[in-house]
Structure 1
Amino acid sequence: MHAQIMYSMNIEKDFLIPFTGLKNGKHSFDFKVDSSFFENYNYNDFNHINAEINVLFDKKINLFELHFTAKGIANVPCDVTNQDFDMPIESEIDLVVKFGDSFNDDHDEILIIPFTEHQLNVAQYIYEMIVLAIPQKRVHPGVKDGTLDSAALDYLGYVNEDEDEFGDLFDDEDEDIFNLIDDLDEEEDVEEEEENTNKDIDPRWAELKKLLTDK
């Protein structure tokens, strides 16, 4: 089963999965969200957003297993230049839904709903999944590849005077990548220097060295 869920950004009605009439097995539900969806949560940490969400709903005898995936674009300001840019976002989470005497969502990946429930509201999980997919440090890709306009580049030149301030924008994984690039550059420099050195050696000395080595 593959159902297209229409939406009007009403989180109380338009993000429900009615499971009572579903047969056991896997069912797919699609949702779309934009900035108006996040207004319900008073979340405005981006300029605007559009994302598509798929929920794979696996109905079993005593529980449900849900797999959420989200893909979209969030327009955010760069932390370095304050220039807006489109940032791709992708995320996925899993959720197990069980039945109990009362509602309980204390566990991040397990939800307990009353036996009397006949539908499931997934709006909260969609909200949390997308918010967590947006990094706290948002750097325009042009900061790293130098493709920003001249005004932004001038500003970056000023920021680069304080390497610590600029370095704080990147996490350890970014630093590992930068270090790897530096190491590769150093290896290339060493190889080039060795090649130049070999070219400068008198061929007679090179032949003598070869004879001594062969012995």
Structure 2
Amino acid sequence: MKPLKEYDIQFVGLKLGKHHFDYQIDKKFFEHFEYDDFNDVDVTLNLLFEKKATLLELDFEVSGTVNVNCDTSNEPYNQEIEDDFNLVVKFGDEYNDENENILIIPHGEFELNVAQYIYELIILALPIKRIHPGIEDGTLKSEILEKLKELSPKDSEEKEETEEIDPRWNTLKQLLTDK
């Protein structure tokens, strides 16, 4: 049995027009892709599938939460995600997915598996740097954050105050203001 078969859309039997598909994505979905950066996943995907005479249009909309570890403190937190993606499927002589928004499939195909597109949409919906909301508002207390504060370099302003400025620079600055 083929994995992720529930994400196959058999478009040959569908009438022309719009069709709606809903998927509930959880952690088991990502196990098929051997992706284990998520602690937990609770994402809803709405797929609007429009069949036309010569092509197919797919509009993906994803929203939900993904439990990930913070890049700074390694504390787990729920990251809200929301994104959308549009895909046009055309028919041609051979399979071609070089363009990210256009997929060309052979004329004899009768179904389309959307699992890869769902996977990529959710992964790309996450921010590049994952920061726990408690770090941003200052409410998160952890040993890692305390150690980072202790080891962080001191502010450059404090450093400048302690260093003596060479008097020759003051003379050069005087030239700029005397113009």
Distance 1:157 1:99, change over 3 A: same
Partner of 1:57: 49
Identity between Structure 1 and Structure 2 (%):
49
Gaps of 5+ in 1: 1-8, 165-215
Moved more, 16-25 or 84-93: 16-25
In 1, distance between residues paired with 2:40 and 2:155?
Answer: 31
Q: Mapping of 1:182-201 within 5 angstroms?
A: none
8 Å CA contact 1:10, 1:37 repeated in 2 = no
Q: Does 1:39 align with 2:34?
A: no
Partner of 2:137: 145
In 1, distance between residues paired with 2:37 and 2:130?
Answer: 11
Distance 1:17 1:146, change over 3 A: same
In 2, distance between residues paired with 1:87 and 1:150?
Answer: 19
How many residues matched? 155
In 1, distance between residues paired with 2:124 and 2:155?
Answer: 28
Distance 1:119 1:140, change over 3 A: same
Normalising by structure 1, report the TM-score. Answer: 0.66
8 Å CA contact 1:29, 1:57 repeated in 2 = yes
Partner of 1:134: 126
Deviations 1:11-67 (A, max 9, x none): 2x1101111122211111011211111111111122221211111011111001110
In 1, distance between residues paired with 2:135 and 2:141?
Answer: 10
In 2, distance between residues paired with 1:122 and 1:54?
Answer: 12
Cα root mean square deviation, aligned: 2.1
Q: Mapping of 1:1-215 within 5 angstroms?
A: 10-11=3-4, 13-149=5-141, 151=143, 154-155=146-147, 157-158=149-150, 161=153
What one-letter code is carried by the residue in structure 1 that aligns with 2:56? F
Task: Please give the secondary structure, in 2, of the residue aligned with 1:129.
Answer: helix
In 2, distance between residues paired with 1:159 and 1:146?
Answer: 18
Normalising by structure 2, report the TM-score. Answer: 0.78
Question: Which one has a larger percent helix, Structure 1 or Structure 2?
Answer: 1
Question: Which one has a larger percent strand, Structure 1 or Structure 2?
Answer: 2
In 1, distance between residues paired with 2:88 and 2:101?
Answer: 6
In 2, distance between residues paired with 1:162 and 1:51?
Answer: 42
What one-letter code is carried by the residue in structure 2 that aligns with 1:81? S
What one-letter code is carried by the residue in structure 2 that aligns with 1:102? E
In 2, distance between residues paired with 1:61 and 1:10?
Answer: 30
Partner of 1:211: none
Gaps of 5+ in 2: 157-179
Distance 1:56 1:74, change over 3 A: same
